[in-house]
Amino acid sequence: MSKNTDELFKNVIAHAKEYGFVFPSSEIYDGLSAVYDYGQFGAELKNNIKTYWWKSMVQLHDNIVGIDSAIFMHPKIWKASGHVDGFSDPMIDNKDSKKRYRADQLLEERIAKLNEEGKTSEAEELQIEMDNALKAENLPRLRELIIEQNIKCPISGTANWTEVRQFNLMFSTQVGAIAEESDTIYLRPETAQGIFVNYLNVQKSGRMKIPFGIAQIGKAFRNEVIARQFIIRMREFEQMEMQYFVRPGTQKEWFEKWKETRLKWHLALGTDAAKYRYHEHTKLAHYADAAYDIEFEFPFGFKEVEGIHSRTDFDLSQHQQYSGKKMQYFDPELDENGKPYGNYVPYVIETSIGLDRMFLLTMINAYEEEDLSTDEKQDSRTVLRLHPCLAPVKAAIFPLTKKDGLPEKAREIMDTLKLDFNLQYEEKDAIGKRYRRQDAIGTPFCITVDHQTLEDNTVTIRHRDSMKQERVAAADLDKIIGDLVSWKNLLK
Ligand code: ATP
């Protein structure tokens, strides 16, 4: 990270805390690693991002419905999905510093360094060795590579390493009063399985015809060993996932469609397209026959925000096998030879976006330290140029002074608008200072009620981005705000 981008990232994190967007969890107890709380404006922004996703996925597609499945699920689900046996990272400890590292990440860092030094063939060779060891789950070989490369712990500076062990990322807990192994259940590490196990319930109760989708927004939990980059990698986070059930043989077509549709969703927010890229997975997960990430250029580099996966019929077939219940769909339509498609286990295309990563992306994109200096004086402001649909507060209402009936008039105007928009009332400090506070949380409009308002029912409305002010009738505010923050502007 260069000094500038490093500083930008630090400033965004500080801003998020100072203005009530994101707080470290349990802060008065010195925090809890990789867990964060969303504050008063963060919760609003997060809800607006969820609404944008939900509307575009569920409301705009008459063949996609949304559900809300429980976090706790039958433990066999995680056996069937492969998470009990396979959802783990290879970890290695340094015996001197007692610090734990992901063995593959230590090697990845070494490969990057070799490349930086121009030793590309050595880097390539190491990459192949590491990939082979990971594929074969050859943990001793991973350790050997770390020793051969003389990789040292950055804390202790020694190469005194333990064996490499697999560390499962799922959190477990016990149901009931007595702790028995059979009562162990897991906090879901992804929301997808809640959709798979309900696929027949939804299909039957909703009389859904293939292709159809099931969407869900919810918490997921992963015991990430290396927590870094603020809310990028958390132990408790939120996902917005959609599983699209298709006829076998059509998955490639749908995969391409969803890949495109999802990137369009991101770009509709006005983000510079150069900040996004697709990353194709060459090492595919056991369940996938194609996978792409949508990556965003964060200050620390490109990072996955969303995954588009062609999951084949793996999950439904596994649940069919483990539960003993048929997961088949009866397709009454005829193929080109006039033969009915009949019964089959559908194939699945998944779109899975991390809400917290989307939140951070949105904050970083919107954050600007704007220089407003003129020849006469130095001036600046920090403004969040959030899309108006996502802004936590749509308008702030200020009485010019705290007297002469202005607060009462401002409240009266606010009462006519607050059923439709999230508003803030502020009467403390000079107007200029109040403007700056609203700029910092991304409020598109500030409305000032002054003495003239008492006479002719007009107010001053000030626009966040241009900082221009105009005089308008209070009766028109509803339309002015409504036009700018309408979901129609985003969901075209
Ligand atoms: P990564 O490679 O970064 O660990 P992943 O490939 O394991 O991510 P998926 O299992 O595909 O991620 O999950 C889908 C989305 O959930 C990711 O694109 C990401 O936005 C989000 N996500 C995954 N793990 C975390 C986490 N620990 N904290 C916050 N968001 C996460």
- What count of Cα atoms within 13 Å lies in the side-chain half-sphere of residue 434? 20
Q: Rounded distance, CA 404 to CA 263, Å?
A: 52
Burial of 373 (0-12, 13-18, 19+ CB in 10 A): exposed
CA 330 centroid distance within chain? 35
- Determine if ligand 1 sits within 6 Å of the CB of residue 89: no
Cα 306 to ligand 1 centre (Å) = 8
Give 10-residue mean pLDDT values along the chain (492 residues): 79 97 96 95 98 98 97 95 89 92 92 92 94 89 95 94 92 78 86 97 96 98 84 95 97 97 97 96 84 95 96 96 95 91 96 98 96 92 97 98 96 97 96 96 98 97 97 97 95 82
CA 329 centroid distance within chain? 32
- Residues belonging to the binding site are 102, 190, 222-224, 232-241, 304-305, 350-357
- Determine if ligand 1 sits within 6 Å of the CB of residue 305: yes
pLDDT of residue 177: 67
Q: Can you list the pairs that 151-156 forms with residues at least 24 positions away whose Cβ atoms lie under 8 Å?
A: 151/106, 151/107, 151/110, 153/94, 153/96, 153/97, 153/99, 153/101, 155/94, 155/97, 155/99, 156/94, 156/96, 156/97, 156/99
* Cα 350 to Cα 27, 75, 178, 197, distances in angstroms: 36, 22, 38, 15
DSSP secondary structure of 305-329 = EEEEEEEETHHHHHHHHHH-----E
* 358 CA: nearest ligand 1 atom: 20
| CATH 3.30.930.10 boundaries in the chain | 3-82+184-363
| CATH 3.40.50.800 boundaries in the chain | 376-489
pLDDT of residue 145: 96
| CATH 3.30.40.230 boundaries in the chain | 88-168
- Given a contact cutoff of 8 angstroms between Cβ atoms, the answer to whether 242 and 213 are in contact is yes
| Nearest to 88, CA basis, from 168, 164, 165, 171 | 168
Three-state DSSP state, 101: strand
pLDDT of residue 178: 64
CATH topology of domain 3-82+184-363: BirA Bifunctional Protein; domain 2 (3.30.930)
Burial of 396 (0-12, 13-18, 19+ CB in 10 A): buried
Q: Rounded distance, CA 315 to CA 287, Å?
A: 7
pLDDT of residue 183: 75
Q: Rounded distance, CA 238 to CA 54, Å?
A: 14
Cα 469 to ligand 1 centre (Å) = 43
88-168 CATH choice from 3.40.430.10, 3.30.40.230, 3.60.15.10, 3.30.70.260: 3.30.40.230
Tokens coding 217: 């927004």
Q: Tell me: domain 376-489, CATH 3.40.50.800, correct?
A: yes
* Cα 258 to Cα 232, 252, 292, 318, distances in angstroms: 23, 10, 11, 24
* Cα 247 to Cα 57, 204, 340, distances in angstroms: 20, 17, 12
Tokens coding 189: 């590490």
- Determine if ligand 1 sits within 6 Å of the CB of residue 306: yes
Tokens coding 431: 């107007």
Q: Rounded distance, CA 258 to CA 271, Å?
A: 19
- Residues belonging to the binding site for ATP are 222-224, 232-237, 304-305, 354-357
**Residue to mutate (ligand 1; options 357, 359, 362; most atoms within 8 A of CB):** 357
* Cα 492 to Cα 65, 260, 265, distances in angstroms: 20, 15, 10
* Cα 82 to Cα 325, 361, 408, distances in angstroms: 18, 31, 62
pLDDT of residue 1: 58
DSSP secondary structure of 353-399 = EEHHHHHHHHHHHHEEEEE---SS---EEEEE---TTT-S-SEEEEE
Q: Rounded distance, CA 311 to CA 243, Å?
A: 9
- Determine if ligand 1 sits within 6 Å of the CB of residue 442: no
Provide the angle, in degrees to the nearest 10, between the axes of the packed helices 103-116 and 139-148: 40
- Given a contact cutoff of 8 angstroms between Cβ atoms, the answer to whether 172 and 181 are in contact is no
Q: Rounded distance, CA 300 to CA 6, Å?
A: 7
- Given a contact cutoff of 8 angstroms between Cβ atoms, the answer to whether 67 and 216 are in contact is yes
pLDDT of residue 229: 84
CA 396 centroid distance within chain? 28
